[in-house]
């Protein structure tokens, strides 16, 4: 499954850059990825000028957006805040398994081209049978899940049990452009960010 474009995540890539003589495009991309998925903010803060509080807030926005992807994926319209908090907590654990390698930047007329090799997390393929079993169990107990919270909690529990067994599907190599704007600052566009983000977690079964 390819993720839907979610506006909250885009904010991560539209912040300020650095003076051209000091700019390290590979480090910039690494900083964005580390801040987005691993809660490692130092490079991102240094290269963009955001505060630690802003960086953490963007990380939490990303988790919240990922929770929406989960609900859409399983056809769940909405859940209570406690269940959403559990869902966000689950993704926080999954994100810590993110695996990627950022290559050396190649200068172009538009800025820098950077290749990133991503190992997509396989959590949804390895937990698929357990999730199906849990959904069937809930259906048998109640004649069909009567509450979104019941269904979401059941799926969260089934998926979470497989986090210690996380592996990775086939590597994907993505080339992104770190562009230079009219003011001489560098940034990563929304489309390029999403081309990376869509492979961090493999939603295919």
What is the DSSP track for 101-146? EE---EE-SSEEEEEEEEE-B-HHHHTHHHHHHHHHHHHHHHTS--
| pLDDT of res. 64 | 95
pLDDT tens over the chain, length 205 residues: 323 232 323 333 333 444 445 689 999 999 999 999 999 999 999 888 899 999 999 999 999 999 999 999 998 988 999 999 999 999 999 999 999 999 999 999 999 999 999 999 999 999 999 999 998 888 777 554 457 899 999 999 999 999 999 999 999 999 999 998 888 888 999 999 999 999 999 998 7
CA-to-CA distance for 16 and 186, rounded, in angstroms? 7
| pLDDT of res. 142 | 59
Say if residues 126 and 101 touch (Cβ distance below 8 Å).
no
The DSSP element (H or E) to which 160 belongs, if any, is: helix 148-160
Q: Provide the 3-class DSSP secondary structure of residue 183.
A: coil
C-alpha of 108 from chain center? 27
- What are the helix (H) ranges across 25-102? 25-33, 42-48, 52-73, 81-95
| pLDDT of res. 205 | 73
Q: Provide the 3-class DSSP secondary structure of residue 20.
A: helix
| pLDDT of res. 5 | 30
| pLDDT of res. 193 | 95
């Amino acid at each position: 499954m390819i993720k839907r474009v979610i506006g909250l995540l885009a904010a991560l890539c539209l912040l300020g850059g650095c003076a051209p003589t000091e700019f390290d495009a590979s480090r910039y991309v690494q900083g964005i990825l580390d801040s987005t998925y691993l809660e490692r903010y130092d490079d991102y803060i240094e290269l963009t000028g955001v505060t630690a509080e802003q960086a953490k807030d963007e990380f939490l926005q990303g988790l919240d957006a990922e929770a929406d992807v989960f609900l859409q994926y399983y056809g769940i319209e909405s859940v209570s805040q406690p269940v959403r908090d559990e869902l966000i907590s689950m993704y926080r654990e999954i994100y810590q398994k993110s695996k990627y390698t950022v290559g050396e930047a190649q200068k172009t007329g538009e800025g820098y081209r950077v290749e990133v090799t991503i190992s997509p997390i396989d959590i949804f393929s390895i937990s698929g049978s357990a999730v199906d079993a849990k959904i069937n169990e809930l259906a048998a107990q109640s004649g069909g899940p009567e509450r979104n919270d019941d269904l979401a909690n059941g799926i969260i529990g089934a998926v979470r049990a497989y986090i210690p067994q996380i592996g990775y599907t086939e590597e994907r190599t993505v080339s992104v452009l770190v562009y230079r704007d009219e003011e001489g600052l560098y940034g990563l566009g929304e489309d390029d960010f999403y081309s990376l983000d869509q492979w961090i977690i493999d939603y295919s079964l």
